[in-house]
């Protein structure tokens, strides 16, 4: 796993054919993620729909905010989606119950490479404890809306050029 990541970082750092800004996302041991399933189950694999949505959203953020000379490697270490399933409520099987204690959280490691140099790297735990109090936004009816809003805020703060 580390060898693959090292090779990916080497390819990014040498600029081997990289023309457009790129975000690559890797999910490290998704079966051990706290809560990353959109269904009433807790064991997930890398092809889980929620993880595919997170991957797709991070790539879109890269297209929007990174300049063409930049590449971002993201390793997702844990996912805890907003809400929780409450199996003791028989009429709500498969429904996530949202409350003030079940905020979304994603732990990740990242490396930003620009023009062959590592410009930023680190590990963050992104949380939105106030997710239920935010003004209604365009994510409200979208799958993983709370998580996407949280990732937008994080990405903008970390990687968007200053205005």
Domains of the chain: which residue ranges?
Answer: 2-159
Planar angle of CA 56, 74, 38, nearest 5 degrees: 45
> What is the band of 161 on the pLDDT scale with cuts at 50, 70, 90?
confident
11 pLDDT exceeds 70?
A: no
The reported pLDDT for the residue numbered 138 is 52
Reduce the secondary structure of the chain to three states and give it as a string. Answer: CHHHHHHHHHHHHHCCCCCCCEEEEEECCHHHCCECCCCCCCCCCCCCHHHHHHHHHHHHHHHHHCCCCEEEEEEEEEEECCCEECCCCHHHCCCEECCCCCCCEEEEEEEEEECCEEEEEEEEEEECCCCCCCCCCCCCCCCCHHHHHHHHHHHHHHHCCCC
Residue 32 contacts residue 65 (beta carbons within 8 Å) = no
Give this prediction's pTM.
Answer: 0.80
State pLDDT tens for residues 25-76.
Answer: 999 999 999 998 877 665 677 778 999 999 999 999 999 999 999 999 999 9
């Amino acid at each position: 796993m580390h060898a693959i990541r090292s090779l990916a970082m080497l390819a990014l750092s040498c600029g081997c054919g990289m023309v457009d800004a790129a975000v690559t996302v890797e999910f490290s041991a998704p079966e051990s993620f706290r809560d990353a399933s959109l269904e009433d189950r807790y064991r997930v694999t890398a092809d889980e729909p929620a993880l595919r949505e997170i991957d797709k959203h991070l790539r879109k953020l890269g297209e929007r905010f990174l300049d063409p000379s930049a590449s971002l490697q993201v390793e997702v270490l844990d996912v805890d989606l907003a809400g929780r399933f409450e199996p003791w409520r028989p009429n709500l099987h498969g429904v996530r119950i949202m409350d003030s204690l079940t905020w979304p959280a994603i732990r990740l490691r990242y490396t930003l490479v620009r023009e062959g140099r590592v410009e930023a790297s680190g590990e963050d735990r992104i949380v939105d404890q106030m997710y239920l109090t935010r003004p209604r936004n365009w994510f409200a009816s979208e799958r993983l809306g709370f998580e996407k809003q949280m990732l937008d805020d994080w990405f903008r703060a970390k990687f968007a050029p200053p205005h």
